[in-house]
Amino acid sequence: MYSSKYGMTISQRTVDKKNTDAKAILDMIASLNLKNTILTWDANYSRTSTLDAVIEADTDFVAYEKENQGHLYEEIADTFGFTDKDMYKGEILSSKRVSSLHGRIESKEISIIFREDALSTPMRKKWSSVKSVIRVRTSRVYKSSSVDSEDFEDRYFISSICPDGLDASFANTMQDIILSRWQIESRHWVIDVAFGQDAIPLRNKEYIENSTIYTKIAYNILSYIRDNVPYYNSALWFFASLQQLSKKADVNFMFLKHF
């Protein structure tokens, strides 16, 4: 369990199988004071038992949904399909951001719909803690010398947070929450791939726990360097280059002279 606000892991559990992850999440929720926080996680753990535990802990959730959620995913996708065809008459809260980087223009548009307008009665009964459904549509336009190309990607979320139509910044705030979740995903991708943790054949539980702690310490140190040391040869730091530099004998002097 990672805090995007403080940039640190606040709880962790060692599990030996994929299907025990959900139980570990429940254990952490029960052991921590999470009042007035917002939890986010991957679609694999969007179970009614997990959602109920979050509500009992007096907190909220914004959970990513995939097609493996079956009927719930289909109803959410169908609802937003109606909005694209101007066939939806309910209230939609939305916000859009546009950025330009590395030869492409990327826009992220978030749309939020009340659960009463998005889900059927049986689905609302089964997923009683869900108060709103969300779509984030990412559009990318790639610039080239000859022709522009464009692609779209839709991601769907469920949330226990009731939409506030009177708050002009509500959709923008929800987008901040979702973007912070993707920052956490990026962190874990670096740990798994750049640090090669997934490829390490660890069998001993204590060794796994210690390896995870040391890996995260190394990640935090390199992240601090990346964020605070000026660009290297006018280019952004990447974890691969930072890892290579950290193996050189004179690296400490090079880093220290920047501070």
- Residue 227 and residue 164 share a domain: no
The residue behind tokens 């990672």 is 2
Beta strands of 143-182 (E only): which ranges? 149-159
Are 56 and 160 contained in the same domain? yes
Tell me, what DSSP letter sits at residue 194?
I
| 220 belongs to a structural domain | yes
Report CA-CA distances (Å) from 109 to 93, 126, 177.
Answer: 11, 28, 14
Higher pLDDT, 83 or 203: 83
Residue 211 lies in domain: 197-256
- Interval 14-37: pLDDT, tens: 776 655 777 888 889 999 999 989
Q: Is 139 inside a domain boundary? A: no
Q: 191 lies in a domain?
A: no
Q: State how far the Cα of 19 lies from the Cα of 21, in Å rounded to an integer.
A: 5
pLDDT at position 17: 63
Model pLDDT for residues 99-116, shown as the tens digit of each residue: 876 667 888 899 999 999
249 has a pLDDT exceeding 60: no
| 140 falls within a domain | no
Closest CA to 135 of 164, 160, 113, 105: 113
Same domain (yes/no): 173, 222: no
- How does residue 253 score in pLDDT terms, banded at 50, 70 and 90? very low
Does some domain include residue 189?
A: no
Regarding whether 14 and 70 lie in a shared domain, the answer is yes
Mean pLDDT over 167-196 rounds to: 81
User: Are both 206 and 124 inside the same structural domain?
Assistant: no
Distance between CA atoms of 78 and 110, rounded to whole angstroms? 16
Which pLDDT band, with edges at 50, 70 and 90, does 55 fall under?
very high
- Same domain flag for 38 and 163: yes
pLDDT of residue 202: 63
Q: Based on the domain organization, do 213 and 117 belong to the same domain?
A: no
Buried-exposed string 33-66: b where 16+ CB fall within 10 A, e elsewhere: ebeeebbbbebebbeeebbebbeebebbbbbbbe
- Summarised one tens digit per residue, pLDDT across range 115-162 is 998 999 999 999 999 999 999 999 888 776 566 667 888 999 999 999
Domain count for the chain, please give it. 2
Whether residue 141 is contained in a domain is answered as no
Query: Residue range 78-95: average pLDDT?
Result: 82
142 belongs to a structural domain: no
Q: Using an 8 Å Cβ cutoff, are 255 and 222 in contact?
A: no
pTM of the model: 0.76
Residue 243 three-state SS: helix
Highest mean pLDDT (candidates 46-55, 203-212, 225-234) = 46-55
Q: Where are the alpha helices (DSSP H) in 21-70?
A: 21-31, 48-56
Whole-angstrom Cα distance, residue 62 to residue 178?
A: 8
* 168 and 204, same domain (yes or no): no
